[in-house]
Every structure is written in C-alpha cells, then in structure tokens.
Structure 1
Amino acid sequence: MSSGAARSDTGRNPQRNPLRDPLDRRLPRIAPPCGLVLFGVTGDLSRKKVMPAIYDLANRGLLPPGFSLTGFARRDWADQDFAQVVHDSVEEHARTPFREEVWDQLAEGFRFVSGDFSDDAAFERLRATIEELDETRGTGGNHAFYLAIPPGAFGDVVGQLREHGLTESGAGAWRRVVVEKPFGHDLASARKLNTTLDEVFSDGSIFRIDHYLGKETVQNILALRFANTMFEPIWNANYVDHVQITMAEDVGIGGRAGYYDGIGAARDVIQNHLLQLMSLVAMEEPTSFEAAALRIEKQKLLSSIRLPDDLAATTARGQYAAGWAGGEKVTGFLQEDGIAPKSATETFAAITLDVDNRRWAGVPFYLRTGKRLGRRVTEVAIVFKRPPHHFFNPDATEELTQNVLVIRVQPDEGMTVRFGSKVPGTTMEIRDVTMDFAYGSTFTEASPEAYERLILDVLLGDPPLFPRHEEVELSWRILDPILDFWAAQDQKGKRPEAYDSGSWGPASADAMLARDGRVWRRP
C-alpha cells in the first residue's frame, strides 16, 4: 500500500484498523466449534456436493480446527473406510486444490456410525460418538444433522434423534437440522413435513436447502436491483413487457428414475428453484438484508401470485423423445431404465404466472424447465417494452428487437444487456448490440460453490438464504392447481407432448407465448 493510500484511509477514520475491526465485511466469517452429522453418505448429493464443499471450506480456513464430520449409513464401515469415501469424493469433485495438511487435520474428525433409521442401537452409538467428539475435538455440543435422504425418511430420522436425546443441547450450545428439497410433493405433504420438523426443532434451527439461493448470481440480483439507481426506476410494469425464467438441462434423468418418475419437472424445479428466483426478481425492497426482512418481502410476493384462468393455454408440459444431444444419439424418457412405459411424468414444464400488485400488474412471468434441451443454462430475462413510437424508417430497425437484461445464473455467471445502436456508416441503421459482464473475467476471486456458502451459513446460524415453511407452503399453493389440472388431463388421455432431445421443448410451449405475441429466448 502506498503512503498516500495509508494516509487517506487513516484520515477517514483514524481509530479503525481494517485488519482487526470485527465489523469489516472483508474479513471471513469462520464457523464456531461444531460438528456435522451426515445421513445418506452413499448418495450422489453427499459425494458430489456436501463432502467436497466441506473440504473446500476447510481449505479456505472457514471451519474450526476441531470440526467433525460423522457419517451414518447402512454400511459395515470403520472410520477409515468412511474417510476413504470422503477422500475419493474430494479428489473428484472439490473446487479447491488438494492440500495434504488440510486433509490430515480434517480427517482427524471423521467418524462413522453403521445402522438403519429404525435401529435404536445405532442412534445410541451416534449419541456416544457425539459425546466423544465434544470431549476430544472440542465441538462444544454444537451439531447440525444433514438429512441428505428421501423426504419420506425425514420423520423416522427426526423421531429417532428426539427419542435418543440428540436434539437437546446444553446451555449456550445448539442443534440444527438441514433438509433437502423436495419439501413434500404437494401442499398437504409439505404441511405434514413442516409439522414433523417443528415438533422437534425450533423454527430458527430448521434449514431448508435450496442450493440455487447460494449461487453468486442469485445473490447478486439483490445488489443489481437495490444498489443501482439505473435499474430500480424501470423495474415495473411501466417499462417491463414480460419476464422469462429458464432452467434448462442438456442431460436426461440418468440413473434417477426411481426418484424422478412421479415427481417431474414442475415439482423438482419450479416449486422451489424458479419460484424462489421469481420472488427475488419481483419482490419489493426489504427494509434490510436481514433474514426476517427478506422473508417478509418474499412471502408478500408469493402471496400476490395469481394463476391465469385458462390453464390449458397458459401451461405446457412434455417428455423428451429419442434424438441427438451433445453429438450423441440418446433414448427417449419412456425408454429409460426404470421408467414405466406409460408414465405421464413430465420432463418439461412451462407455466404463466401473474402478480397481483401495482408494480407488476399486466406483466406475465413465464417459467420453464426441462431436460434434454438445447444446452445447460439457467437465466432470468427481463424483457422491456418497445418505445411508444419509432421516428426511424422501418427498414432501419428491422434487425432491432426489444431491450433485454439477462441475469445468467449458470453455467457462465454474469449479466448481459441487449439494446439498439447505430451501425457505423452514412445511413441510419439500428441493430442489436450487447454489453456483457462475466464473473470469471471481472473478479479475480473464484465464486464459491453454492453448497459451501449454504453449509457455512448453517454452521453460523445465518438464515437469509433458506426458505421458511411459509414460503414452501405458498409455493405449493401456486403449483398444486396446475398439477391437479395436468392429472385431470391424464385421465382424459391427454399425455405430455413429446419433444425431440436437443430441442427447446414441445410445440405447446411455443404456442403458449405465441398467443401473447411473444417468443421464448434461445439462450
């Protein structure tokens, strides 16, 4: 640092030392002494996301030296066998480089408990293991239980935790539970699940993971809207024509037939990821970025969402058929292993939603998700209205489309603005141009993986990015009528429409927008 920079900094606040000030937001927040118990350690989620994220947090110095990770599964493993599983997962999926000294310290806190969810003796061994970790690793009675298991097993595990005294903590300590989506399969089951959790854990100790909320660009939606005066004045029905929110995948269901068949694209993605994205894009400005203030505005927005009257015209669903994707010939959904030949489960879903408030009155929100689409991409597109009149010759603007602000969530995080500009030359010709901001080329810091942020927030007890049960139930209130309508269509023999793998979905989805005089973006 130059002497001039130093004088300037101390001149503003001579008492403040940024290297020691606990309020300086540039300083990392490190988890307190604690441990995490992971149920479902053999699943893809644990191996590909949770275990690598824990290592990456340790590698970044954000976990306490005595952090412990306890695995629970029906495997006849010793502690070292579990350590090898974690090692293999880290080696294959971790974001940060492998460092032996970090691994050695982390691995000292690995424990494994063998048993199934109905095994009382196993949960007694788990209680003894936690007590041993408190004694030898200094975890201080602070433990989070991560349920990376099917929702149907939540009640069994939570009941066993309560039965064996594992949800009780001493003075100044905490016990928390982490649950993964789906949060039920409809409103009734979501309420039942919430009741099960609420009977055992306090409201502030329940963390519902929606990993999309941990992505850097999703969090940046709030910064984009409320830290820039150029956007907020036009973020309303006076200027916005419509909004498109897309989560497209270029892969099929893979080996997830047992999970996916009967769930479908709407339950899997729209009920959680896309409605959460929509709430952040459309909500009013919160009084602060504290969890309570954010939740109030998200809940108000979700409460304001209305379904159009004609669901046949404003929704679409489909199943991918055989075709070409990524240069390879692929099978259709109904030919996938484990899928019933007459399955009505949708792999593509698109819906139209209206927001019944002054800011968004008359602005449709189009949400879509699907598998085996043209490419993997998640984005929010704010499409603006055309100017009220053009004084340009129509020939001069024939290549000009509507202004669009695109927020790219994945895979290349960033934002793009499309607007019209004059083409160099002597004639007045207007053409679309884009301005692009990409995280990878703008910031030297690499974006943490979403699970790193979310797991650290659990250990810190920081809840802003976790949906509360009110939000979950409001989301099901929106989606349930659509699912009921589709089920009635199935009874009439109107199945999901087939679409070619590698395309952008069924023709009915294009017709849905065409009725409004609009078209889907092709990212």
Structure 2
Amino acid sequence: MSKEKIALFTIFGGTGDLAQRKLYPSLFKLYQKGYLQDHFAVIGTARRPWTDEHYHQVVADALASLHADADQVTAFASHFYYQSHDVTDVQHYITLKRLSEKLDAQYELQGNRIFYLAMAPNFFGTIARHLKSEHILTENGFNRVIIEKPFGHDFESAKTLNDELAETFDENQIYRIDHYLGKEMIQNIAAIRFGNNIWESLWNNRYISNVQITLSEKLGVEERAVYYDNSGALRDMVQNHIMQILSLLTMDQPVEFTEDDINIEKVKALRSLRPYQPEEVAKNFVRGQYAPTETVKGYRQEDKISPASNTDTFVAGKVMIDNYRWSGVPFYIRTGKRLADKFTRIDIVFKRPVINIFNHELPDNQAADNGLAPNVLTINVEPTEGFELRMNAKNVGQGFATTPVQLNFDHDATAAANSPEAYERLLHDILNGDATNFTHWQEVAYSWKFIDVIQQYWDDHQPSFPNYKPGTMGPQAAADLLAQDGHRWVYQG
C-alpha cells in the first residue's frame, strides 16, 4: 500500500521567514521519505512580484543546509508555483482559484486542499471568507486550514478570530499549530505515563510533591522585537506551549489513544485550573525583564524596543489544578529570554519518605526534610532528549548514610538527528487528517481565561524593571516563589 499523500498546499505568506526556515525543509523531508511524490503541488502567495523560476530558487536556497542531491531538489521545487497576491483583493482569489484548479487536474490532487496561513492573525478572517466566497474550497476532497500563533492576544480577540474562521471551516478542519506538540519528548509524555504502570500509579497527589516546567532561552528577542514587545513571555510562551505541556502532564488516561478522547481529557484538565483573583496574582506569579551588562544589551536597549518598555521577558508562576488527582500539588512554570542556557525540561518531584531510618541524628539544617533527597523524574525535551531519575542509595563504605544517584537515558544521537523535526511531524499529521497533536478551540479558550487575569493585573501595576541579569535563571523572586512553599527549583543554573 502506497504511503503517498495527495494534496495541494497554498501557503499565504510564502515568501516569509517561517516558510523558508521551517515549511519548505519539512515538506522536502516528507518528499524524500516518499510521503509526497508525484501528486502534490504548492502555491506560494505574497505581495512580492516573483516568477515561478525565482520561487524555485528561493525554495532550493531554503534547502541548502540539508546538502541534498541537486536533481532531487530541482524535482521537488518544480512542484512549486507562485502567485503575487493581495489578501484583500477579490480578483486575486479568482486568479488563485484558476491556478488551484489547473494544478488539481495536472497533478491529480482529487480536490484535497491545505491552506497554511503563515501571516499576521488580523488577515485570517479575511482569507477564510474569500476562500469560501470565491469557491476555492472543494466538495470532492478535504479542506484543511493551518493557523500559526498568536491565536489572539486575550480571550475576546481569540474568540473573535475563532468565530471568523468558523464561518468557513468546521472545527475538525482547523489545525492550530503549537510546534512544541511536535517535539519527540513532548509526545513521549503519554508513553511514559500510560505505558508504565510504575509511573501512572504514582502520578497523583499522594506521591508527587510538585512539578516544574522550564522553557529556558539563552538569546534575547533578536529579530522578533516588534512582535515580542506587543506580546511578552506570558502571552508568547505560557498561554500556548506551557499550558499544552501542563495539560498533557495532568490529564487523566483517555479511553483510547485517539484525537477525540485525548482532547476530552486535555480540556477537562484545563477546566480544572484554579483561577486567580487579581489580588492573588502578585503572590503566585513573577515577571522579569533582563538588564544590560558590559557585553549584552538589556531588553530596553534592543533595537526597536522602547527605552521605557515594561514588557515581560521572564515569567515564573505557581499553577494549581483543582481536581481529585492533583489537589494540593503546585505546578511551577518558568520561561524567559537571556537565561543561563537554552533547554526545555520537566521535573516531577516526588514526596520524601516520611521517616529516614538511616540517620537518627540529623544536622539542624536537615531536620525539616529528614535528610533524604526527593526522588525526581526529569524529562529532557531539548537539546538533550531523554530521561533522568534521581533516587537515594547507600553511600559506598561503612555505615548506612544515603546519597542521591542518577539513572540516565538519552536517545541515541544518530537516531535523534534522523528523527522528524516538529514541523515535519505536524505537516504529516495534517496530511493524515490527525489533529491529536494540535490545539483545539476549547483548550485555547480555557488557557486564555486563566492568563487574562494575570495579564490584566500586570497591566494595572507598574513593575520594577529590569530585575535580572543575563546568564542567570531569572529574578530572585522566582526562587522565592518556591521557597514560600518549602520547595526549590531542581535546575539552579
């Protein structure tokens, strides 16, 4: 049975950075693996007056780092067509329809169409309406639309955007990309939990003390300055990536490993988020902004950033899940720019044994926690992919003093290097019509409702910025956030 997928891709924003860095290389890898063969075509649209020949060269240049066979690159690029397009001009959609129908017949695409909106969200509704009104959607094949973040900047704007899309597409036709859901170790969360009774039986408030999610970035805002200054770390990273990771860690086991059943459980978990009152925000969430040093610009000194900007480049918070499984367990999250290193990790900290039978006389500074280190299961998402388990064992030598030891597993470097990149995985899922690893509207809605209270409080209260040095793990208040509960970050930097 052939694994070839048949579809016409139309990429709105085909000249942009996302298309060249992520989409074209990912489509090419699907082509190399045989998922795309003879029966596919790509229309790239944007305002620039390019020719098909120039577009082919742009696509080839985007693949240069892959060091692929030149003839294969040429054959792949020949499936690409360019149309200069103004998304507000009805006439341009008429031209797009003609080209789509021509390519459908030429490549025998069976009316299967995928629309990738790699543009600013304010154009999403306009594009969707014209796709419907100009009859570019087909009746004899599938129609799927892919949406990049940001999906709104608060609940109300997200709902407006969703309502606009819903006028043209059903929910099962809308694929909201969160590239973290395409990462190997994020997808591994379900396997760890539901494929191992040793963990799922302990995955609750009887045995887990706290959970820590860290998405750390070493660089500053770079070329994303304009977007970032209107967003900040809370909207850019917490509302989507961290909330999605949180839902996978906290959801109950689905009846079956299917899109619908997983979505049901993720939504139930996000519905259980404890909403904060405005006066509770300051106690449970910390924001930061990086300062200048002799060698590194501060955020306010970055190009295109206002010297008075109060945009958060760091967030740490305490999230509570009010359901039977997780009641009383704090989930600590943090993310930021200009931190100690670039990595993503999840630390599940288990409760200590109630009594330490090995040490009857403890130093004063250990009396409170009985001298035993907690067991910690760490899921390393990137750049290393694998697991770590910290447990207590007897120290070598006389007596029965204990010491923490580490059990490690890292994915084979060769296998990891050859595994699909996140966008490749997700594009393959879209071709298969599988939205398991995408964000559904209800998930977006509950995430925004939780985040909006925090953002509104911050908007109403001026911060004392800057408050952390580049190369650290954020402001001291982030450590204090855990200390007030008697905990500490597993990764100290």
TM-score norm. by structure 1 comes to 0.89
Q: Give the superposition deviation at 1:361.
A: 0.8
Question: Which residue of 2 is the match for residue 502 of structure 1?
Answer: 471
Hey, what's the Cα distance between the residues in 1 that align with 2:390 and 2:469?
A: 29
Opposite residue 205 of structure 2, the aligned amino acid is A
Contiguous gaps of at least 5 residues in structure 2: none
Counterpart of 1:166 (choices 110, 125, 136) is 136
Counterpart of 2:53 (choices 55, 80, 90) is 80
Question: Which residue of 1 is the match for residue 409 of structure 2?
Answer: 437
1:184·1:193 contact (CA, 8 Å) conserved in 2? yes
Q: Give the superposition deviation at 1:443.
A: 4.9
Hey, what's the Cα distance between the residues in 1 that align with 2:187 and 2:405?
A: 26
SS at match of 1:421: strand
Deviates more, 1:133-142 or 1:421-430: 421-430
Question: Which residue of 1 is the match for residue 314 of structure 2?
Answer: 348
Q: Give the superposition deviation at 1:423.
A: 2.1
The count of corresponding residues between Structure 1 and Structure 2 is 484
Question: Which residue of 1 is the match for residue 480 of structure 2?
Answer: 511
Opposite residue 143 of structure 1, the aligned amino acid is R
2:15·2:44 contact (CA, 8 Å) conserved in 1? no
- Report whether the alignment pairs 1:466 with 2:438: yes
Kindly provide the CA deviation profile for residues 392-429 of structure 1, in whole angstroms up to 9, marking residues without a partner as x.
Answer: 22569998521110111111111111111122212323
1:399·1:432 contact (CA, 8 Å) conserved in 2? no
Q: Give the superposition deviation at 1:46.
A: 1.4
Counterpart of 1:115 (choices 82, 85, 101) is 85
Q: Give the superposition deviation at 1:330.
A: 1.4
Opposite residue 184 of structure 2, the aligned amino acid is E
Label 1:31 to 1:368 Cα distance change in 2 as closer, same or farther (>3 A): farther
- Report whether the alignment pairs 1:409 with 2:409: no
1:497·1:506 contact (CA, 8 Å) conserved in 2? no
Label 1:260 to 1:131 Cα distance change in 2 as closer, same or farther (>3 A): same
Kindly provide the CA deviation profile for residues 413-465 of structure 1, in whole angstroms up to 9, marking residues without a partner as x.
Answer: 11111111122212323211111111135958832101001011111111111
Counterpart of 1:367 (choices 319, 333, 336) is 333
SS at match of 1:349: strand
Counterpart of 1:138 (choices 75, 84, 108) is 108
Question: Which residue of 1 is the match for residue 301 of structure 2?
Answer: 335
Counterpart of 2:8 (choices 14, 35, 46) is 35
Question: Which residue of 2 is the match for residue 520 of structure 1?
Answer: 489
Hey, what's the Cα distance between the residues in 1 that align with 2:353 and 2:413?
A: 33
1:33·1:139 contact (CA, 8 Å) conserved in 2? yes
Counterparts of residues 192-231 of structure 1 (less than 5 Å): 192-231=160-199
Question: Which residue of 1 is the match for residue 345 of structure 2?
Answer: 379
Opposite residue 490 of structure 2, the aligned amino acid is R
Q: Give the superposition deviation at 1:31.
A: 4.7
2:178·2:240 contact (CA, 8 Å) conserved in 1? yes
Q: Give the superposition deviation at 1:118.
A: 1.6
Label 1:502 to 1:234 Cα distance change in 2 as closer, same or farther (>3 A): same
Question: Which residue of 2 is the match for residue 3 of structure 1?
Answer: none
Question: Which residue of 2 is the match for residue 104 of structure 1?
Answer: 74
Kindly provide the CA deviation profile for residues 316-357 of structure 1, in whole angstroms up to 9, marking residues without a partner as x.
Answer: 001111237xxxx21010001111111111000111111111
Opposite residue 338 of structure 2, the aligned amino acid is R
Counterpart of 2:62 (choices 72, 89, 105) is 89
Deviates more, 1:337-346 or 1:121-130: 121-130
Q: Give the superposition deviation at 1:308.
A: 4.8
- Report whether the alignment pairs 1:421 with 2:393: yes
Counterpart of 1:47 (choices 10, 13, 20) is 20
Hey, what's the Cα distance between the residues in 2 that align with 1:74 and 1:296?
A: 41
Determine what percentage of the aligned residue pairs are the same residue: 40
Q: Give the superposition deviation at 1:103.
A: 2.0
Question: Which residue of 2 is the match for residue 25 of structure 1?
Answer: none
Kindly provide the CA deviation profile for residues 47-100 of structure 1, in whole angstroms up to 9, marking residues without a partner as x.
Answer: 1111111111111111132211111011111011111111111113x4xx5123
Hey, what's the Cα distance between the residues in 2 that align with 1:117 and 1:443?
A: 42
Label 1:237 to 1:497 Cα distance change in 2 as closer, same or farther (>3 A): farther
Hey, what's the Cα distance between the residues in 2 that align with 1:412 and 1:198?
A: 39
Question: Which residue of 2 is the match for residue 237 of structure 1?
Answer: 205
Opposite residue 435 of structure 1, the aligned amino acid is L
Question: Which residue of 1 is the match for residue 427 of structure 2?
Answer: 455
1:59·1:99 contact (CA, 8 Å) conserved in 2? no
Q: Give the superposition deviation at 1:259.
A: 0.7
Hey, what's the Cα distance between the residues in 1 that align with 2:147 and 2:10?
A: 12
Question: Which residue of 1 is the match for residue 450 of structure 2?
Answer: 478
Hey, what's the Cα distance between the residues in 1 that align with 2:236 and 2:298?
A: 19
Label 1:163 to 1:54 Cα distance change in 2 as closer, same or farther (>3 A): same
Contiguous gaps of at least 5 residues in structure 1: 1-21, 23-28
Counterparts of residues 254-293 of structure 1 (less than 5 Å): 254-293=222-261
Kindly provide the CA deviation profile for residues 240-259 of structure 1, in whole angstroms up to 9, marking residues without a partner as x.
Answer: 00000110100100011111
Hey, what's the Cα distance between the residues in 1 that align with 2:213 and 2:399?
A: 37
1:68·1:106 contact (CA, 8 Å) conserved in 2? no
Hey, what's the Cα distance between the residues in 1 that align with 2:272 and 2:205?
A: 15
SS at match of 1:195: helix
Label 1:318 to 1:407 Cα distance change in 2 as closer, same or farther (>3 A): same
TM-score norm. by structure 2 comes to 0.94
1:184·1:190 contact (CA, 8 Å) conserved in 2? yes
Kindly provide the CA deviation profile for residues 478-520 of structure 1, in whole angstroms up to 9, marking residues without a partner as x.
Answer: 1110111111112xxx344521011100111111111111112
Opposite residue 377 of structure 2, the aligned amino acid is L
Opposite residue 24 of structure 2, the aligned amino acid is M
Counterpart of 1:148 (choices 118, 122, 142) is 118
Kindly provide the CA deviation profile for residues 272-317 of structure 1, in whole angstroms up to 9, marking residues without a partner as x.
Answer: 1101001101110000111000000000000001045521111000
